[in-house]
Amino acid sequence: MRVGLFVPCYIDAFEPEVGISTLELLERFGCEVDYPFDQTCCGQPMTNTGCHAEAAATEALFVKNFAPYDYIVAPSGSCVHQVREHLTAVDQTEEVRAVRARTFELTEFLHDVLKVDAFPWAEFPHKVGIHYNCNSLRGIGLAQASEPNKPFYSKPLELLKKVRGIEFVQPSRWDECCGFGGTFCVFEPGVSAKMGYDKVSDHAKAGADYIVSADSSCLMHQKGCAERIGLPLRFIHIARILNGARQ
């Protein structure tokens, strides 16, 4: 199974450890992982702002980079949502459609495709609150959101339950948006920050030591918010816990 690893731009620049953990995890489960060297971005900043035409060249580059692989895996539900649902500025050739259909978020890939049942190396002796990126939650179905009358499930939670020593806490508004929202966080900074303060405060009130998520973008925003209002929370990407990080 040849896997093309997509390391989203902000993980590349700010959290290289998340990329490394993702790579190592996939290799632990026998995937042949390649990192297409000319990769940049999925086009989300532009399409999120309505500028689809401006995203076309970036989308074309994404497809060119990842067309050769059986699967494309990224440690970011938000980017995967962009590829699957919104990579439409380029002509929808067979190649484009194939790349879009074969792109997976890391936890759903582990849960649905590799069907992983154990992480023997993983131990995380802390209280964690799970944060779901909205595109991951309501866009690609990483978990069941609270609004519909449908039974709850959560792929990240299923995986984290296999980690030794981990404890879970539940904030009261567990699936409310944290206010990152892509370009929303800079175009509507006041509301975005207030949403972030409320989100991290809710986790702190629930007793979380760590907020864990499958999306680094939300975590970066929340970390910045927690530091600003002086909450001693820590933030970690799920890939690092599953790959054995202890803190």
Partner 1 sequence: MSGPPDSHTVIGGPREPQPRGAKVRPGWPIDQSEAADRFIAAPRHLQNHDTRLWTLRQNRDRIAHGIEEWEELRELASQIKEHTLAHLDHYLEMFEANAKANGIHVHWAADAAEHNRIVHQILDEHGARSLIKSKSMLTEECAMRPYLEGFGIEVIETDLGERIQQLDDEDPSHVVVPAVHKLRADVAEVFSKTIGTDPNNDDVHYLAEQQRETTRPLILQADAGMTGCNFAIAETGTFVVCTNEGNADLSANVPPLHIASIGIEKLIPRIEHLGVFVRLLSRSALGTPITQYTSHFRAPREGGEMHVVLVDNGRSERLGMDEFWTSLKCIRCGACMNTCPVYRRSGGLSYGATYSGPIGIILDPTFNRTKYSALPFSSSLNGSCSNVCPVKINIHEQIFAWRRVMAETHEIPLMKQAMMKAAGELLSSPALYRAAVSGADAALRTLPKFIVYNRLNTWTRAREMPKAPDHTFHDWWKANREKTEVQP
Query: 126 to 185, contacts with partner 1 by CB under 8 A?
Result: 134-135, 137-139, 145-150, 173, 175-177, 179-185
| C-alpha dist (Å) from residue 234 to 100, 136, 148, 164, 167 | 33, 21, 31, 19, 15
Closest approach, Cβ 59 to partner 1, in A, equals: 8
Tell the residue number behind the tokens 């990224």, with chain if given: 74
Interface pick for partner 1 out of 3, 4, 15, 106 (rule CB under 8 A): 15
Stretch that binds partner 1, among 43-51, 97-105, 154-162, 205-213 (CB under 8 A): 43-51
Interface pick for partner 1 out of 1, 2, 32, 50 (rule CB under 8 A): 50
> CB of 182 within 8 A of CB of 206?
no
Which of these, 29, 9, 30, 28, lies nearest to 19 by C-alpha position? Answer: 9
Closest approach, Cβ 61 to partner 1, in A, equals: 5
* C-beta closer to partner 1: residue 55 or 208: 55
* C-beta closer to partner 1: residue 123 or 144: 144
Give helix then strand counts, H and E, for the chain: 13, 8
Closest approach, Cβ 91 to partner 1, in A, equals: 16
Binding mask 54-73 for partner 1 (x = CB under 8 A): xxxxx-xx------------
Closest approach, Cβ 36 to partner 1, in A, equals: 10
Closest approach, Cβ 178 to partner 1, in A, equals: 9
* C-beta closer to partner 1: residue 159 or 177: 177
What part of residues 209-228 is at the interface with partner 1 (CB under 8 A)?
A: 220-221, 223-225, 227-228
> CB of 95 within 8 A of CB of 63?
yes
Structure tokens at 115: 């069907």
Tell the residue number behind the tokens 């023997």, with chain if given: 120
If binding is defined by CB under 8 A, does position 12 make contact with partner 1?
yes
* C-beta closer to partner 1: residue 107 or 192: 192
Q: Which residues contact 119 (CB under 8 A, 6 or more apart)?
A: 159, 162, 163, 242, 244
Which of these, 140, 217, 132, lies nearest to 182 by C-alpha position? Answer: 217
Residue 179, sorted as left (phi over 0), alpha (psi -120 to 50) or beta, turns out to be left
> CB of 104 within 8 A of CB of 156?
no
Closest approach, Cβ 84 to partner 1, in A, equals: 13
